Amino acid sequence: MAKADRKVKPPKGKPKKIWLTILFSVVSVFYIAPVFMVLLNSFKKNTFVKTETFALPNAESWAGFDNFIKGVTFGGYPFWKSVLFSLVITLLSTFLIIFFTSMAAWYISRVNSPICKIVYYACVFSMVIPFQMVMFTLSKTAYNLKLNTPWTIPVIYLGFGAGLAVFMFTGFVKSIPLEIEEAAAIDGCGPFRTYFKVVLPMLKPTIISVAILEIMWVWNDYLLPYLVLDGTKYRTIPIHIQYLKGSYGTVDLGATMALIFMSIVPVIVFYLTCQKHIIKGVAAGAVKG
């Protein structure tokens, strides 16, 4: 009876977890609030976006879907072409980064040579170089090498995205037991078959993590396409939004908010779909990195 009357003590870590949950919930509100404000203002008339930015739409300020129609049809440049160019650049860039950097990381991890170490540290060092330091030289080089089209600019993205991708893939490959590859070699697999049949399937968590990070970066990037691409022929979505200007620099903020919301929805959907893999991939890549 005495044992039954004893109170069960809660786990020691439970109050701490509750406070962490509350803390991160508050922090998440600050991240979600800008997206929510963009959505609200995309349904307001232009004048009310400036004067009543944080107010909910009412009967007087409600613009319906006029801002979306205006943003899509503004300037005579088809918005679907901007979506197409952004999609082509994002998918090609992500594919090139994942394909080449994963193979490079596998070779760097398995071949212990001074050259591989130099290449690895060069990739890591490239992550700390600001883009502004090389952007003017880059634009001229891209023009001379004919890399100023949506089908060739992914080569430039490969150069800038290789650092983080090699770092993450290298850390994950080091956590893969070497015996698995040795067993594949005994069964008659060469380097290419070993990579594509054995190593590549095991890289899935890191591949998804790298894909998420690179897609979010390339899809939302404005500066590199603006410097390299010909704006009269090729416009990505961020460049298309930048062209929503009237005379004397006036901007239709309602249409701008509408296009911004349309541009972030695909990335949000993709991230929510794959979010369970990103922590797993980052943690796996940091095991022996």
Domain ranges of the chain: 77-285
At 225-263, the pLDDT tens digits run 999 998 788 999 998 888 877 655 677 788 888 898 998
Instruction: Write the single-letter amino acid at 244.
Output: L
Q: Tens digit of pLDDT for each residue in 164-179?
A: 899 989 988 888 888 8
Distance in angstroms (rounded) separating the CA atoms of residues 157 and 160: 5
Answer yes or no: are the C-beta atoms of 158 and 93 closer than 8 Å.
Answer: yes
First to last CA, the chain: 55
CA dihedral for 147, 148, 150, 153, sign (positive or negative): positive
Rounded to 5°, the CA angle 118-157-82 comes to 175
- The predicted pLDDT at position 1 comes to 47
pLDDT of residue 22: 87
Question: Is residue 8 very low, low, confident or very high in pLDDT (cuts 50, 70, 90)?
Answer: low
Q: Which two tokens stand for residue 130?
A: 């600001």
Is the pLDDT at 23 greater than 70, yes or no?
yes
What's this model's pTM, rounded to 2 decimal places? 0.83
Report pLDDT digits (tens) over 30-83: 888 888 888 898 898 888 888 888 888 888 888 888 888 888 887 778 888 999
What's the token pair of residue 55? 């107010």
Whose structure tokens read 């983080």?
Answer: 164
Q: CA quadruple 99, 102, 107, 113: dihedral positive or negative?
A: positive
Options 3.30.530.20, 1.10.3720.10, 3.30.420.590, 3.40.50.300; CATH for 77-285 is: 1.10.3720.10
Q: Angle, nearest 10°, between helix axes 153-173 and 114-126?
A: 120
Residue 185 CA neighbour count, 13 Å, CB half? 6
